[in-house]
A = this chain, B = another copy of it.
Amino acid sequence: MTRYAMFGEIMMRLKAPGYERLFQTPSLEVTMAGAEANVAVGLARLGEDVSFVTALPTNDLGIAVRDELRKHGVDVSKIAFCKGRLGLYFVESGANQRPIKVVYDRADSCIARAEPRVFNWRELLAHRDWFHITGITPAISETAMHCTLEAMKTARDMGLTVSCDLNLRATLWQYQVNHVDVYRRMMEYVDVLIGNEGHFQSCLGLSARVDEEDIYHNPTAYRPMADEVFEHWPNIKKIAITVRRTRSADHQSTAALLVTPEAMWTSSVFEMKDIVDRIGGGDAFTAGLLHALDKTGDSRETIDFAVAAGALKHSIPGDFLRATHEEIQTLAQGAAGRDQR
């Protein structure tokens, strides 16, 4: 069994109830959330062996986060506990024309302030086979960027497979750096790359582009986009490209392609008309992808499973993919929404 490790920030997410605007009524729903943590939990619920590396404060918030990860079966023994604060974000659901709104309060968190020496990557990645990271972690702070690069480099040196989800949050990048430079340095350590159609340009500064409707009618249009990546970074062996169409806050569709230098598989399109919670949908896709790559390798089954995982997440409150292999498999095979009685 593949043994995964991931590194990133996990925050407390404080959500207004139902479709209320923030602070409309005086209560908040607490869940935990963070791009790599979402992938970790999703994989753990699928039965995988996952270790999550982060820095948490030694207060009730840090403890609560650790316990939540542990509940889902994630290995928390590699977490560093420090003095400081936990990153938070406040969120309200969107509906119809009203988009989801997020208010971040994540500055100066433990992970943002953690010095590279906090993490001994040789030890943290021992007995691990796969390292996953996203483009959000280096955006947190300059030290987090250094930790990210060191982790990726060490993972590669130690022979782990490295996957990376380009995941640009432009507003997060607050320190003096060109994020494209950082992403391009990261690419040197990557085996499996995940991104949406816009990321190749916005994160990596590449030039290939696709038309919005190509996913339906002309999936081969994505080939040049992938080839440009393969050409720049020959170490990258697989690319998963996700495609989302947003009709309204609660009506969207999702699909994806798995591309290797030799082949390409296009998933079914999943139409989601009554989205419950779209945050974490991309991370659920990644969890599904990693799990399926492990089980079914490069194939149409793999990309369908990954997209089904991502779609299923949209029906579940919170950031986490709380689903079993069987549930995702059933959906990937087409039995959408039928009763299980």
Q: Report copies per complex.
A: 6
A292 located at the interface, meaning its Cβ lies under 8 Å from any Cβ of chain B in the complex: no
A64 located at the interface, meaning its Cβ lies under 8 Å from any Cβ of chain B in the complex: yes
A338 located at the interface, meaning its Cβ lies under 8 Å from any Cβ of chain B in the complex: yes
Instruction: Report how far A90 CA is from B52 CA in the complex, Å.
Output: 26
A68 located at the interface, meaning its Cβ lies under 8 Å from any Cβ of chain B in the complex: yes
Known A-B contacts A70-B71, A102-B341; the reply to A96 vs B24 at CB < 8 A is no
Is the Cβ of B71 less than 8 Å from the Cβ of A311? no
A112 to chain B: closest CB distance in Å?
Answer: 12
Residues 37-57 of chain A, each 1 if its beta carbon lies under 8 Å from chain B, else 0: 000000000000000000000
Is the Cβ of B99 less than 8 Å from the Cβ of A339? yes
- Contact check: which of B85, B331, B338 meets A105 at CB < 8 Å? B85
A278 to chain B: closest CB distance in Å?
Answer: 8
A161 located at the interface, meaning its Cβ lies under 8 Å from any Cβ of chain B in the complex: no
Interface hit among A14-22, A188-196, A223-231: A14-22
Query: What are the nearest 10 A-B pairs in CB distance?
Result: A71-B71, A249-B337, A23-B64, A248-B337, A98-B315, A95-B315, A97-B336, A26-B30, A19-B276, A22-B60
13 A-B pairs besides A94-B315, A96-B337 with CB distance below 8 A are A18-B317, A27-B30, A67-B71, A67-B72, A85-B105, A86-B105, A98-B312, A99-B337, A99-B340, A100-B341, A248-B274, A250-B337, A251-B273
